[in-house]
């Protein structure tokens, strides 16, 4: 028997012996995946897909889920700190597609860091991004299950609101200047699903600056305002700055809602939950009243990604 064959036989015998003892021979693993995730939606998605333990760093604006929010910060999405990335031995960088970040992303690639850029500007784009990210992380089945769960929850809201009267809804995401959710955004889709019509339907982009005069002229029946991200800001039914125009139907009918931005502004695994919340804001007579907790900050243990 040749020496090589003898070694193979010995290895086989050892494997059988280890199996009999309830142990498995150690397998040679490939390169460890060390992820830095810049975009909040991607952080939530990675956690929902069960890959949070592969993340070693996050962007400055990642504040959820809690398990990732405490990891080392690596800078803004368009200005990642290369020294920090190298110190973390990052080999996969996940972010949102952006022309402003193109130069920095090219530099990361020069240093051997794979860059995954995904477009979540629209509702459908977000679902596609979840699928693409799941495939890259070798969690394609989990990603398909997540997308299916989102679409089932969104579809259930659509069915319940199908016969409801269409209410004109303005979704404010920024003030001074006023920025609103325009056509194509995930919020535009959720407004439609929940029985509303976007008051900014004629805007030129998914996220658009709108004059106050145009907002007033639209005479929205419901205003969903997520523009105030200050800690402790009031949440719930509140006219806020819109009280200046008491003749607006939304103000006169007490249909102005102040929400924490995290509740609706970040597309991703919580899209189904966002659709249900939008239903409560637009048609509480069908979906029930939204609670102040549902409009307030995300809280660990109660709002974990699911």
Place 291 in a pLDDT band, splitting at 50, 70 and 90: very high
For the beta sheet containing 114-118, the strands, ordered from the edge strand earlier in sequence to the opposite edge, are 55-58, 35-37, 92-96, 114-118
Mean pLDDT of 234-258: 95
Place 303 in a pLDDT band, splitting at 50, 70 and 90: low
Same fold, 35-118 and 165-295: yes
Q: pLDDT tens-digit profile of 255-272?
A: 999 999 999 999 999 999
Give the angle 121-125-128 at the CA atoms, nearest 5°: 150
Share of the chain above pLDDT 90, in %: 74
Pairing of strands 75-76, 55-58: unpaired
Q: pLDDT tens-digit profile of 16-72?
A: 333 333 433 333 344 699 999 999 999 999 999 999 999 999 999 999 899 899 999
What is the model's pTM? 0.84
For 35-118, CATH gives: 3.40.50.1980
Which string of DSSP letters, residue by residue, matches the chain?
--HHHHHHHHHHHHHHHHHHTT--PPPPP-PPP-EEE-SHHHHHHHHHTT-GGGEEEE-TT---SHHHHTSPB-EETTEE-HHHHHHTT--EEEEE--GGGHHHHHHHHHTT-EEEEE--SSHHHHHHHHHHHHHHTT-HHHHHHHHHHHHHHHHHHHHHHTTSPPEEEEEEEETTTTEEE-TTSHHHHHHHHTTEEETTTT-SSSEEE--HHHHHHH--SEEEE-----TT---EE--GGGGG-TTSHHHHTT-EEE--GGGTSS-STTHHHHHHHHHHHH-HHHH-PPPHHHHS---TTTS---
Place 299 in a pLDDT band, splitting at 50, 70 and 90: confident
Long-range contacts of 232-236 (CB under 8 A, 24+ apart): 233/258, 233/260, 234/258, 235/259, 235/260, 235/292, 235/295, 235/296, 236/292, 236/295
Domain definitions of the chain by residue range: 1-29, 35-118, 165-295
For 165-295, CATH gives: 3.40.50.1980
- Round the average pLDDT of the chain to a whole number and report it: 88
pLDDT at 27: 32
């Amino acid at each position: 028997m040749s020496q090589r064959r003898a070694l193979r036989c010995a290895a086989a015998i050892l494997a059988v012996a280890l199996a009999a003892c309830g142990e498995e021979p150690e397998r040679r693993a490939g390169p460890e995946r060390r992820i830095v995730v810049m975009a909040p939606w991607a952080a939530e998605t990675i956690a929902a897909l069960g890959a949070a333990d592969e993340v070693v760093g996050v962007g400055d604006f990642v504040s959820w889920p809690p398990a990732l929010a405490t990891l080392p910060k690596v800078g803004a999405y368009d200005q990642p700190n290369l020294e920090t990335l190298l110190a973390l031995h990052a080999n996969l960088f996940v972010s949102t597609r952006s022309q402003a970040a193109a130069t920095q992303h090219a530099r990361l690639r020069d240093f051997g860091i794979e860059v995954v850029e995904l477009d979540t500007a629209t509702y459908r784009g977000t679902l596609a991004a979840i699928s693409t990210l799941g495939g890259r992380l070798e969690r394609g089945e989990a990603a398909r299950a997540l997308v299916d769960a989102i679409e089932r929850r969104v579809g259930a809201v659509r069915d319940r609101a199908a016969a409801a009267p269409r209410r004109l809804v303005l979704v404010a995401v920024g003030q001074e200047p006023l920025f609103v959710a325009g056509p194509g955004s995930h919020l535009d889709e959720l407004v439609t699903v929940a029985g509303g019509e976007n008051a900014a339907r004629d805007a030129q982009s998914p996220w658009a600056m709108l004059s106050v005069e145009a907002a007033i002229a639209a005479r929205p029946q419901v205003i969903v305002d997520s523009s105030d991200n200050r800690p402790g800001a009031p949440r719930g039914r509140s006219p806020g700055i819109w009280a200046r125009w008491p003749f607006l139907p939304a103000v006169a009918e007490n249909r102005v809602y102040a929400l924490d931005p995290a509740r609706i502004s970040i597309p991703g695994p919580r899209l189904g939950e966002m659709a249900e919340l939008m239903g409560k804001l637009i048609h509480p007579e069908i979906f029930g009243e939204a609670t102040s907790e549902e409009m307030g900050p995300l809280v660990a243990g109660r709002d974990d990604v699911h």
